[in-house]
Structure 1
Amino acid sequence: MSKMDYKVGFIGCGNMGSAILKGMLQASLFDANNIYVYAADETQHEKLKNEFGIRIAKDNKEIMELCDFVILAVKPIHFPSVIEEIKDVYTSDKVIVSIAAGMMIDKIRKLFEQDVKVVRIMPNTPALVNEGASGICASDNISVQENQVVTSIFSALGVTVQIPEEKMHGVVAVSGSSPAYVFMFIDALIQGGMKQGLCYEDARLLASQSVLGAAKLVQESEDSLDQLVKNVCSPGGTTIEAVHVLEDKQLKDIVMEAMEACANKSRKMSE
């Protein structure tokens, strides 16, 4: 695959920004010489330059001036100050990529005070190991080719789904935040295993691999989730006893209630 001849800039490059940067380069989507970074924590600059061979910009404004695609990898609270720095040098041939929860396209455009081209992404932390899941929505003035470029970047980190913006709150609840729920479940499996006499290291390995394997089965099997559960349960066996407890404790209802709270917070942040 030939590398794309665009300049990509990162404003902010923490854990998620670094994951995106690493994924782009590992997938050979862009030449490192065409990637620019400016982060508030300037101690990162030398580290990123040495590790990835990318270029360091002198400030956020230079990122906007030089790059075709500008990834805003900063927290929502910093959007107003960052956009204030760069809005005067934005031109209509450039694409703004936002990975911030709650930052609607219209809100970003209002901060720029013009109809900027925006692609919103809701990634998740498994992108750090190239197993991410990202929802993508684009403003109405994004071309098919521009959308394909952004989608290619995030596809290098896992799977992507094109989502209308009004459904992005659901993406936040289903994939954006759900790694935290899964980590809690894995921790419960580990603690349960230790209660049954396993050491921590063995319980952690068995629990994490079981969740990984179960997820792979969901992706590759044509069976429904109900059928996959039944496939593990032998009549009168051990698994059915555990399943009955989880059903009695209403596991599904607890998870769905948590997701509703997550989505509602996303909606509130978007106001």
Structure 2
Amino acid sequence: MKVGFIGTGSMGSLLVNAFVRSGALEASDIVVANRTQAKAERLASAYPGMFAAATNRELIQQCDCLFLCIKPSEFKTVLQELRPWAREDQIVVSITSPILIQQLEDQLPCRIAKVIPSITSGVLSGVSLCMFGSRMAVADCCLLEGLLSHISEPLLIDEQYTRVVSDLSSCGPAFMAFLAQRLVDAAVEVTGIDPDEAVAITSAMLLGTGKLLTEGGMTPKELIQRVSVPGGITQQGLQLLRQETDGVFQKLIRTTHDKYREDLEKVQAALYGEEVNGP
């Protein structure tokens, strides 16, 4: 099976690297293309046997399955390039959340899926959110889930919950890293601890916390209860955090949803010349 990747930016190259490193795909099974061809050639040169296509037409003509790893604003042009050469037996996977499955089914005759990966796939961890279009057969879904299972845990979701689940799985690593960096910065400012040492300690703590919440079978509430002794230091810190962050995460979710809605409307206008009425 030949698998193509249109877009070799941050997430496109991450997926290519993860699939090869995990053994899910051989380099010779992969075709890559990018708006700036030199970028695709640079990625392909790192893996003997991988092919950098000169055009999206060249890529789609070679591939059984292709991932669209591009920005929402690029979809109209890319879909126009692919449409004359797209086949009904091909699987096309978008990794861009504001692109709806129905929109892709309207534009291409292919079997359509949407997958929202995470930066955690780079270390073969985390989840990949999976949504399947009406033309995807059971065998197609199993094939795609099997591929993704090498680099993550595939999780089937309803498309209407794309944004909120993406907040947790895909944006979440950046949000948690932001909080970790703020904790490190405060520790350095208040105590003078070496920044590199603080980062190392915090990173090891996050790794252990993640294991407790997965392998250890704890829920976040249970972990808090185990660490927070009544009248202790952790409890005092938690009381402050509750006060200072009251309402912050609700605002965060609303902010990401507002941006998602804005992007949905822009894509809908570009493809159909009208505003979106979807999720």
TM-score of the superposed pair, with normalisation by structure 2? 0.88
1:53-132 alignment to 2 at 5 Å? Answer: 53=48, 54-112=50-108, 115-132=109-126
Residue 78 of structure 1 aligns to which amino acid in structure 2?
A: E
Partners of 1:223 and 1:245 in 2: CA distance: 23
Indicate the residue corresponding to 1:149 in structure 2. Answer: 143
* Greater displacement, 260-269 / 92-101: 260-269
Is the Cα–Cα contact under 8 Å of residues 8 and 40 in structure 2 kept in the other structure? no
What are the superposed Cα offsets for residues 189-233 of structure 1, whole Å, 9 maximum, x if unpaired?
101211222111011111122122112211123333222101112
Q: Specify the alignment match of 1:3 in structure 2.
A: none
1:79, CA displacement in angstroms?
Answer: 0.7
Shift in CA distance, 29/227, structure 1 to aligned 2, threshold 3 Å:
closer
What is the CA–CA distance in structure 2 between the aligned matches of 1:216 and 1:71, rounded to whole Å? Answer: 31
Query: 2:195, 2:46 → 1: CA distance?
Result: 34
Q: Give the drift of 1:81.
A: 0.4
SS in 1 for 2:88: coil
CA distance, structure 2, for counterparts of residue 225 and residue 171 of structure 1: 17
Q: Is the 8 A contact 1:173 1:263 kept in 2?
A: no
Q: Does the 8 Å CA contact 2:97/2:162 hold for their aligned counterparts?
A: no
What is the distance in 1 between the residues matched to 2:10 and 2:123?
Answer: 11
Task: Tell me if the contact between 2:37 and 2:54 (Cα under 8 Å) persists in the aligned partners.
Answer: no
For the 8 Å contact 1:99–1:120, the answer to whether it is kept is yes
Structure 2: gaps spanning 5 or more residues: 265-275
Matched position secondary structure for 2:197 = helix
Choose which of 33, 39, 48 in structure 2 pairs with 1:38: 33
Assess, with a 3 A threshold, how the Cα gap between structure 1 residues 97 and 249 changes in structure 2: closer, same or farther.
same
Instruction: Choose the corresponding residue for 2:196, options 182, 198, 201.
Output: 201
- Say which SS state the counterpart of residue 32 (structure 2) adopts: strand
Q: Distance in 2 between matches of 1:101 and 1:250?
A: 28
Give the aligned partner of residue 18 of structure 1: 13
Q: SS at 2:76's partner residue?
A: helix
Query: Structure 2: how far apart are the matches of 1:125 and 1:37?
Result: 19
Query: 2:182: which partner in 1?
Result: 188
The alignment covers a number of residue pairs equal to: 263
Residue 131 of structure 1 aligns with an amino acid whose one-letter code is S
| Residues in 2 aligned to 1:137 and 1:268: alpha-carbon distance in whole angstroms | 21
| Ranges in structure 1 where 5+ consecutive residues have no aligned partner | 1-5
Q: Is the 8 Å Cα contact of residues 16 and 127 (structure 1) preserved in structure 2?
A: no
Residue 49 of structure 1: aligned partner: 44
Whole-Å Cα distance in 2 between the matches of residues 143 and 49 of structure 1?
31
Deviation at 1:111, TM superposition (A): 3.2
Asked if structure 2 preserves the Cα contact closer than 8 Å seen for 1:11 and 1:71, the reply is: yes
Residues 212 and 218 of structure 2 are in contact (CA less than 8 Å); yes or no, is this contact kept in structure 1? no
2-structure distance, mates of 1:268, 1:44: 29
Say whether 1:224 aligns with 2:219.
yes
